[in-house]
Amino acid sequence: MNIPQHIAIIMDGNGRWAKAQGKPRNYGHLKGTENVRNIAIKADELGVRVLTLYAFSTENWKRPDEEVGYLMSLPAVFFKKFMAELMEKGVRIETIGNLDVIPEATRKVIEDARRQTAENKGLTLVFALNYGSRAEIVRAANLAAAQCDGQITEEDIERNLYTAGYPDIDLMIRTSLDYRLSNFLLWQLSYAELYFTDVYWPDFDAEQLEKAIEWFNNRERRFGGLV
Ligand code: V07
The pLDDT tens digits of the residues spanning 90-143 come to 999 999 999 999 999 999 999 999 999 999 999 999 999 999 999 999 999 999
- pTM comes to 0.97
Q: What is the DSSP string of 189-224?
A: TTT-EEEE-SS-GGG--HHHHHHHHHHHHHHHHHHT
Domain 6-217 has CATH 2.60.40.10: no
C-alpha separations of 72 from 18, 49, 129 in Å: 19, 26, 10
pLDDT in tens, 141-172: 999 999 989 999 999 999 999 999 999 999 99
Nearest-CA residue for ligand 1 atom 13 is: 75
Can you give the residue ranges of every domain in the chain? 6-217
Q: Which residues line ligand 1 (CB under 6 A)?
A: 11, 14, 29, 32-33, 36, 55-56, 71, 74-75, 78, 93, 110, 113, 127, 129, 201
Residues contacting 185, CB < 8 A, separation 6+: 8, 52, 128, 133, 163, 169, 172
Q: Probe ligand 1: pick from 14, 26, 36, 131, max atoms within 8 Å of CB? A: 36
